[in-house]
Structure 1
Amino acid sequence: MRQLGHSTHALMMACAFWLLSIPALATPDMPDPPTLDRLADRAGALPRTHTLMVAINGETVIERGYRGHRTNQTANIKSLSKTLMSALVGAAIERGVIDSVNQPIVELLAPDQIPNNADPRIREITVGQLLSMQTGLERTSGQHYGAWVASNNWVRNALSRPFVAEPGGQMLYSTGNTHLLSAALTQATGHSTLALMRDWLGAPLGISIPPWTRDPQGIYFGGNEMGLTPQALLAFGEMYRLGGHYNGRQILSGDWISASWQPRTHSFYNDDDYGYGWFSGEIEGEPVYYGWGYGGQVLFVVPGRAMTVVLTSDPTPPSSGRYLARIKAVVAQLIQATAE
C-alpha cells in the first residue's frame, strides 16, 4: 500500500482530533409515559382541541384525538396553509420556476390578471414581500375578507386594493398575498397548486393532499381552507426540523428553511416575528418556529428540543385571538418536560 506523505498524514490526524473534540450534541430527556399522558390531558382540556401529536427525536410520543376526532382524519388547517405555500415557493425557486424571492410578482402572473387601473407600485411587489406580508396593499383579511372572497376575481381584486404602506414596510397580514403566489405558480408551471403540492411535497413526504377550495378562476386557494391530516402535518414539520431532509430525501434546501425562519417583520397580533410563512419567538428560553391557523391550527418546531408539535382545533367561529397563548402554554409544558 502506498504510504501517505507527511503533510497528508498530519492533515488526517488533525481532522481526526477535530472530530473527536466536537462535543456530543445534546439530546432532550424523553418524558416518561405518565408525564406524557398528563400533558396530553392538559391539551385536551382546552375547549377547542381536536387532536395533538408530539414527536421528540423523531419518535411520536403523543398521538391523541379528542371529541371524536382522529389524527388520520383530514382537518381544515385554515391559515396554517400559508406555511405550506411558503414551502411550495421554496421548491419552485429550487426548480427555477421562480427566479428568487426578489422577483416581482407581476412577472409571474398572466397579463390579464393585472388590473389596468392598479397603482404602479404593484410592479415593485416581490415574491418575498408576499411571503412576509410586506406588500403595503390594503389587507384582504379581517374586515375585508368577506368582500374579497365574494368578488368574481380574487387576484385582480387583491391587486386593485389601495396602498396603505410602502412595499417592504410594515406587516399587513393578508391572505390575498399567498393567493397571489398560488396564481403565480399556476401560471408559471401550467399546473394547479394542488398538483404541485402533491408532486413536490406530498409524494416525497409520503402524505396525501386532498383537493381544497378554489377561486372563481379555478385557482386553488393559496393561504386558507387547505385540508391535511395531523399525521401529514407532523411529517411536514419533521422535514423542516431536519433541515429539509425526510424519508432519505432532501425535499427542501436547508438554506430555504433558514430563510423562511429568519425574522423579517413583526406581528402585533401575537407579538412574534414573522419570516416566510412562519412565525418565530421564544418559549421557555427555546427558539420556536410555528405556523398558525384560525381557531387553533398550529405546527410548532422546537429545534433545540428536537421536538415537533401539531395541534388541531375547532376551525369554526368564534375564536379569541388570545387562544394562541393557551396553546403556547401547552408547548411550554412540553418543553419543560424535556429539560435536561
Structure 2
Amino acid sequence: MLSRRAFSTALLTTLAAPLVSRAAAQTASDMGSLAGELPQLHAIMVQRGEDIVLAEAFRGPGLDRVANIKSCSKSIVALLAGSAISQGAIAGVDATLGAVAPSIIPSDATPGAADLTIEDLVTLRAGLEGTSGGNYGAWVNSGNWVAFALRRPMVAAPGGRMIYSTGTTHILGAALAVATGDSLLEQARAVLGRPLGIEIPAWTRDPQGFYFGGNEMALTPRAMLRIAVLLRDGGRFEGRQVVSTDWMRASVRPRTRSPWSGLDYGYGWFLSESGFIIARGYGGQIIAAHPERDLAVAITSDPNAPARSDGHFGRLMELLEGPLLAAP
C-alpha cells in the first residue's frame, strides 16, 4: 500500500517533470497505477473529449454493477430542481417552501420554515440545525423525516452559511415530488435516465413514501461518468440539451463554502479553484467534471469507510488536481 507521503511524492515528481517527459509519464497506465494504490478506491473512469482513457475496477462490484453513490445524490437532486424550474413546476429559485409544497410543512415547524426558498435548500443554507453527523440516526429513525428536519431549530439565518445536512436536501426532494406530481425516481428516470441511456434503480424511501433526497441512490460507474460528461458539457449529452444552460451556469457559481473541505459550493455541486465541478459522497464517491480540460471523472470507493478531506477524499483530490488534470 502506498503511504500518503509516497503518494504525494509521486504526484510531486510527476508534476515537476519537464513538459516532454510529463506527457510520457502521465499515461492512463500511470494514472491507473496511482489510483490502484488507494486502498479504499473501488473503481475509476476518466473520459477526455469523446475518449474513455481510463476504466479500471480494482476492487468492489466493478464498472457495470451499481454502487451506492451516497451524498452524490444531493447533486442529482439539484439537477432535478433545475428541471422542475425549467418545466414551470416551480416558479424559480426564489419560490418558498410554503408556496411550492405547503402540505409537507408540519404545524409545529420551526418559525420561518415556510419562508425557506428553493435556493436556500439547494445550496444547503436553510439555517436549520443539521440532521447529518450526530443527529443522523435519530432523524432516519423518526416517523416523518421531512417534519423532523423542519422542526430543527434555526441555528443560522437562511441564505447565510452552509450547514451540511442531508435533511435539507430531503426537504427539497419532497418539495420537488409535490410540485411536479412525480416521485424523485420518476423525475430522475425522465430527466437523466432516458436521455443519458442509464439505469436508475429504485432506492430508499421515507415513511411517507418520499424517495431519499440526499443519500442512498445507486448508479454504475459508467452511469456516473455519463452524468459527469453532461456536467462537463454544460447540460448537453450527445447533442441534446438535457438540463438547461441557464441552470448549469447558475449551478457552478459559488454561493457558499464548505467549512470542512474549504471547497466552494453552488447549486448542489462543490467547486475547486482549478475548475473542477464535483459531487461528493461518503466513503469517496465522486462525479467530477472539468469543462476547460474537457475532462469527466467517475470514482467509487468503499461506501462503509470514512473519506475525510485530510484522508481518502484528500488523496482523491490530489489525484484529480494532479495527474488527471495535468495529463495530455
Partner residue of 1:328 out of 289, 303, 317: 317
Identity of aligned residues (%): 45
Counterpart in the other structure of 1:94 = 86
Q: How many residues align?
A: 305
Give the counterpart of 2:327 among 330, 334, 337: 337
Gaps of 5+ in 2: 1-21
1:180-205 CA-to-partner distances (Å, cap 9, x unmatched) read 11111211222211011101111011
Partner amino acid for 2:131?
T
Partner of 1:55: 47
* Cα distance, 1:118 vs structure 2: 2.1
Shift of 1:329: 1.1
Of the three residues 290, 309, 316, the one matched with 2:297 is 309
Task: For residues 3-51 of structure 1, give each alpha carbon's deviation from its aligned partner in whole angstroms, at most 9, with x where no partner exists.
Answer: xxxxxxxxxxxxxxxxxxxxxxxxxxx9669721111111111111111
Q: CA deviation at 1:68?
A: 4.7
The CA deviation string for residues 190-237 of structure 1, in whole angstroms up to 9 with x for no partner, is: 221101110111101111100011101111000100000111111111
Q: For 1:121-136, what aligned pairs fall within 5 Å after superposition?
A: 121-136=112-127
Task: Note the C-alpha offset of 1:166.
Answer: 0.7
CA contact (8 A) 2:26 2:323 kept: no
Question: Does the residue aligned with 2:27 lie in a helix, a strand or coil?
Answer: helix
Q: Give the secondary structure class of the aligned counterpart of 2:275.
A: strand
Q: 1:203 aligns with which of 170, 191, 194?
A: 194
Q: Give the aligned residue type for 1:82.
A: K
1:277 pairs with 2:277: no
Q: What residue number does 2:227 align with?
A: 236
Gaps of 5+ in 1: 1-29
TM-score normalised according to structure 1 size: 0.86
| Contact residue 102 and residue 114 of structure 2 kept, 8 A | no
For residues 227 and 150 of structure 1, what CA distance do their matches in structure 2 show?
Answer: 21
**Is 2:170 the counterpart of 1:182?**
no
Distance 1:204 1:176 in 2: 28
Query: C-alpha displacement at 1:108, in angstroms?
Result: 2.1
CA deviation profile, 1:282-312 (whole Å, cap 9, x unmatched): 2xxx311101000000111111211011110
Corresponding residue of 1:254: 245
Task: Give the structure 1 partner of residue 284 of structure 2.
Answer: 296
5 Å-filtered alignment, 1:14-163, equals 35-111=27-103, 113-163=104-154
How far, CA to CA, are the matches of 1:32 and 1:211 in structure 2? 44
How big is the shift at 1:247? Answer: 2.4
Work out whether residues 58 and 238 of structure 1, in 8 Å CA contact, stay in contact via their aligned partners in 2. no
In structure 2, what residue type is equivalent to 1:293?
A: G
Q: Secondary structure at the residue paired with 2:187?
A: helix
Q: Distance between the aligned counterparts of 2:211 and 2:23, measured in 1?
A: 41
The equivalent residue for 1:5 is none
Q: Secondary structure at the match of 2:304?
A: coil
Kept after mapping to 2: 8 A contact 1:110/1:187: no
TM-score by length of 2: 0.90
Please report how far the alpha carbon of residue 54 of structure 1 lies from its aligned counterpart in structure 2 after TM superposition.
0.2
Among residues 214, 223, 226, which one is paired with 2:214 in the alignment? Answer: 223
Contact residue 204 and residue 247 of structure 1 kept, 8 A:
no
Task: Please tell me the residue identity of whatever aligns with 2:269.
Answer: W
Looking at structure 1, the residues matched to 224 and 240 of structure 2 have their Cα atoms a distance apart, in angstroms, of: 17
Question: Displacement of 1:265 after TM fit?
Answer: 0.5
Kept in 2: contact 1:299–1:310 (CA 8 A): yes
Pair 55,32 (structure 1): closer, same or farther in 2 beyond 3 Å = farther
Q: Give the number of the structure whose alpha-carbon radius of gyration is greater.
A: 1
